[in-house]
Amino acid sequence: MEMLTTMITPYKKDGGIDYETAEKYVDWYYKNGLDGIFAVCQSSEIFYLSLEERVELNRRVYKRAKELDPNFLVVSSGHISDTLEEQARELNAIYESGTDALILITNRLDINNEGDDVFIANAERLIERLPRDAKLGLYECPHPYKRLVTPKILDWCLKTGRFYYMKDTCCDAGMIKERCEQLRGSHFKLLNANCQTLLETMRCGADGYCGIMCNFHPRLYAWLGDNYKSEKADLVQSVTGTFGFTEVGLPYPLTAKYHMNLCGLPTENIARNRKSEELGEYAMSCMRQMKLATDSLEKWLEV
C-alpha cells in the first residue's frame, strides 16, 4: 500500500510562503512513515497561489523529499487555468521543478461538464503538450466542482499507458471496487482520498490512501497500510474514519496548521482560503482532543 499526504502550505506573518517550514513538514511526513506527498494540490491552497509560488513550493518539497530518500514519492499538480495552453504552461513548469508524476485535475479537462468525449479530447490535447516521459495521474478535485471519472475515461487512460496514479474522491466503496477491478493488472494505482471507506476499499483492491488526514496522524495511516488485513485494522479504521469527519465543519487547513504546532512545528495561523479568526477555541479544542486520542492509539499499536 502507498500512503500519501496532501501537502499544506505554511505562511510567514507577512503572508508569504514559509518555504523553510514546508521543508520541515516534509521531514515530519517522512519520519512518521508515509510513502509520499501530493504536492501543490487543493490542500496546498493551489487556487490561491501564483504560478511562481506553486513552482517554488513544489521544487522545495521535491528536493527535500529526495534528500531524505530517493524512494520518497512526490506527485504534483499545479494547473488551475481554464485554457489548455495555460494549463500546459503551468504543468511544464511544475515538471521542470521536479516530480515523480504530474497529476491532472479532472474538472480542468471538462470545465463545463460536457461529457466524456470532451474530457478525453481535451486530455489528449493537453498531454501532447507535456513531456513524453512524464508519468501522469488524475485527481478528482472537489473545487470548483467534482468531475468524477467514468469507466470510459479509465479505459482511455489505460490505453495511453501514461497514467500511474489516481486520487479517487468518489467516496463510494462500491464504485471504487469497480474501478479497482477495471484497473487490475495495470500500473495505474488507485489511492482513495476518503478515510471512512479506506479499509474496505484496500481489502477490495485499492492501492492506498492520499488524503487530508495524514496531516494529523500519519503514523496511523502508515500502520493501516501495512496491516490492513489484521483484526486490529478494523478498530484503527473506526477511529480514523471518525476523526475524518473533522474535514468538514472545522476550518481546514487552519486546523492542520494548528495541529502542526501541537506536533512541535511552529506554524502561523494563516491561510489564503480561510480567515484566521475561523480557528476559534472550539476548533483548537477538537484538535487537542484528537491529538490525545491519536497518541493513545499509537501507544497501543506500539508505533
What confidence tens digit (pLDDT) does each residue in 126-163 have? 999 999 999 999 999 999 999 999 999 999 999 999 99
Give the mean model confidence (pLDDT) for residues 3-31.
98
CATH number at residue 171: 3.20.20.70
Count up the domains in the chain and report the number: 1
Nearest residue to 140 via CA among 185, 95, 174, 171: 171
Residue 168 exposure: Cα atoms within 13 Å on the Cβ side:
31
Does residue 57 fall inside a structural domain?
yes
Does residue 127 fall inside a structural domain?
yes
pLDDT digits (tens, 9 = 90+) for 71-92: 999 999 999 999 999 999 999 9
pLDDT digits (tens, 9 = 90+) for 206-230: 999 999 999 999 999 999 999 999 9
**Residue 76 lies in domain:** 2-217
pTM over 0.75: yes
Does residue 51 fall inside a structural domain?
yes
Q: Which residues contact 31 (CB under 8 A, 6 or more apart)?
A: none
Q: What are phi and psi of 41, to 5 degrees?
A: -125, -170
| Location of C-alpha cell 489505460 | 158
* pLDDT band per the 50, 70, 90 thresholds, residue 273: very high
Question: Residue 252 and residue 273: Cα distance in Å, rounded?
Answer: 9
pLDDT digits (tens, 9 = 90+) for 24-73: 999 999 999 999 999 999 999 999 999 999 999 999 999 999 999 999 99
Does residue 36 fall inside a structural domain?
yes
Does residue 40 fall inside a structural domain?
yes
Does residue 293 fall inside a structural domain?
no
Does residue 271 fall inside a structural domain?
no
Q: Which residues contact 152 (CB under 8 A, 6 or more apart)?
A: 116, 120
Longest dimension (CA), the chain: 52
Does residue 276 fall inside a structural domain?
no
Mean pLDDT of the chain: 97
pLDDT digits (tens, 9 = 90+) for 108-127: 999 999 999 999 999 999 99
